């Protein structure tokens, strides 16, 4: 145990010289060493340390600049340090930041109105992280099944897709099909049924009188940017309606204009009963998530059923309103659609020797590398070219820049990717 009578040199340093000064003096290797020594090893980051981010660009401690194609897994939709969102956050920080849900705040009231308006839904339950929004949807669907649909106690079933990614809580990894996510973490919550993604007959075959909901991502982003066959989303809506089953779209990554529409389900007539939101809702500043949906379902919660200390706090609320306002005022849905198509067209013009597939919607683009090619070498070539991207499953590199990119920057991404591919193949 550290001495409590004398301040350690570490704390003297931080308190007397200021956190900013101490951070600014750290080198890349110090940063990596401290992280590996004191941080649990649940990630394996690219060995660079990012110092600043503005718009679609990030700069590392060594001063090298990268075009951010990870986009914080789609959370930085509005660009790093988006002016209007930062301004809203700064103004709020002079007024009130955190209360708890023991009281009302005008900021949260306005946020609830804004998120329902933006999503075209009737009610919202504010949370912080995506995984919490998914847990919220699961609880809502189950309680709806028991209190509205009439499913016998503890028998509710939720149908989910293979290759899904819905977060990292024990319940959520329990219905993952990825051994990596769940091995060593059981026993798991029962009541989930896996079917192949994008297969409407497979879903239909698993529906029983006890089915509460079908919960899926409209595009499996973490799964490798996997897009379901045309018509699947609309057919799923019809199937759910016919069987009195809730349709839950997890739009945490695909939502907020990422795929060229406000929400990816809008590519087809597939309006959900519940929708999980997160990532870009936080405007690249802080975690903000929510579960939104129809009143009949949302209204099953009674006081005490569910909660979160930080959920809907005033700072998060104004940031989220500003985040949605930015998407609206700059028409980033349209920009995402146009720039995403430009990127895909550009990638298709490149040397395809090592490319297995290029797929995407809007600015959620995947570049799959053929088996037999060295994807680690390609990863390094991307970094050397100043392209920040990371492989997801299925040997697929993700290109999910902020939605603010213009044609010149998309062309720059394509040119750099072309050079990196050339380096990695020769």
Choose the catalytic residue: 60, 143, 165, 192: 165
**279 part of the active site:** yes
**263 part of the active site:** no
Q: Which range of residues in 59-67, 100-108, 123-131, 187-195 is near ligand PLP by CB under 6 A?
A: 123-131
To ligand PLP, the closest distance from the beta carbon of 255 in angstroms equals 9
**Is the Cα dihedral 88, 94, 95, 100 positive or negative?**
positive
Q: Which range of residues in 25-33, 52-60, 249-257, 262-270 is near ligand PLP by CB under 6 A?
A: 249-257
Choose the catalytic residue: 60, 250, 263, 397: 250
The structure tokens listed for 92 are 């709020």
The residue from 60, 157, 250, 368 that contacts ligand PLP (CB under 6 A) is 250
To ligand PLP, the closest distance from the beta carbon of 217 in angstroms equals 5
Residues 70-99: x where in contact with ligand PLP by CB under 6 A, - otherwise, as a string: ---x--------------------------
Asked whether position 273 contacts ligand PLP by CB under 6 A, the answer is no
Asked whether position 252 contacts ligand PLP by CB under 6 A, the answer is yes
Which residue number, 195 or 355, has a Cβ lying nearer to ligand PLP? Answer: 195
Q: Which range of residues in 102-110, 126-134, 150-158, 267-275 is near ligand PLP by CB under 6 A?
A: 126-134
Asked whether position 134 contacts ligand PLP by CB under 6 A, the answer is yes
Asked whether position 145 contacts ligand PLP by CB under 6 A, the answer is no
To ligand PLP, the closest distance from the beta carbon of 203 in angstroms equals 18
Asked whether position 278 contacts ligand PLP by CB under 6 A, the answer is yes
Residue with CB nearest ligand PLP?
Answer: 130
**60 part of the active site:** no
Asked whether position 222 contacts ligand PLP by CB under 6 A, the answer is yes
Distance CA(290)–CA(287), nearest Å, equals 10
Catalytic residues: 165, 250, 279
- The residues of the shown chain that bind ligand PLP, judged by CB under 6 A, are 73, 129-131, 134, 165-167, 217, 221-222, 250, 252-253, 278-279
């Amino acid at each position: 145990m550290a001495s409590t009578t004398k301040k350690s040199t570490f704390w003297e340093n931080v308190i007397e010289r200021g956190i900013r000064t101490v951070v600014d003096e750290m080198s890349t290797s110090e940063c990596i060493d401290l992280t590996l020594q004191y941080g649990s090893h649940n990630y394996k980051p690219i060995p660079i340390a990012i110092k600043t981010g503005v718009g679609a660009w990030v700069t590392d401690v060594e001063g090298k600049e990268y075009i951010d194609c990870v986009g914080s897994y789609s959370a930085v939709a509005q660009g790093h340090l988006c002016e209007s969102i930062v301004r809203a956050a700064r103004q709020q920080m002079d007024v009130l930041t955190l209360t708890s849900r023991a009281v009302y705040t005008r900021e949260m009231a306005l946020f609830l109105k804004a998120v329902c308006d933006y999503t075209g839904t009737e009610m919202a339950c504010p949370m912080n992280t995506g995984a919490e929004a998914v847990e919220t949807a699961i609880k809502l669907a189950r309680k709806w099944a028991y209190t509205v649909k009439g499913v016998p106690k503890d028998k509710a079933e939720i149908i989910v897709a293979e290759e899904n990614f819905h977060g990292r809580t024990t319940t959520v990894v329990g219905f993952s099909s990825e051994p990596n996510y769940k091995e060593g973490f059981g026993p798991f919550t029962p009541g989930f049924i896996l079917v192949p993604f994008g297969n409407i007959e497979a879903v239909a075959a698993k529906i029983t009188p006890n089915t509460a909901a079908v919960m899926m991502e409209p595009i499996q982003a973490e799964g490798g940017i996997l897009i379901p066959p045309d018509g699947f989303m609309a057919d799923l809506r019809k199937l759910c309606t016919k069987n009195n089953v809730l349709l839950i779209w997890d739009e945490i990554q695909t939502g907020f204009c990422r795929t060229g529409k406000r929400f990816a389900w809008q590519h087809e007539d597939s309006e959900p009963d519940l929708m999980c939101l997160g990532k870009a809702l936080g405007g690249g500043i802080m975690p903000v998530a929510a579960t939104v949906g129809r009143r009949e379902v949302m209204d099953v919660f009674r006081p005490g059923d569910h909660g979160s200390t930080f959920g809907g706090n005033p700072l998060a609320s104004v940031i989220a309103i500003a985040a949605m306002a930015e998407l609206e005022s700059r028409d980033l849905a349209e920009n995402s659609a146009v720039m995403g198509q430009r990127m895909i067209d550009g990638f298709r013009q490149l040397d395809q020797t090592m490319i297995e597939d290029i797929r995407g919607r809007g600015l959620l683009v995947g570049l799959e590398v053929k088996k037999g090619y060295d994807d680690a070498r390609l990863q390094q070539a991307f970094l050397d070219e100043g392209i920040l991207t990371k492989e997801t499953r299925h040997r697929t590199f993700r290109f999910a820049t902020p939605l603010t990119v213009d044609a010149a920057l998309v062309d720059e991404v394509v040119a750099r990717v072309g050079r990196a591919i050339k380096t990695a193949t020769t």
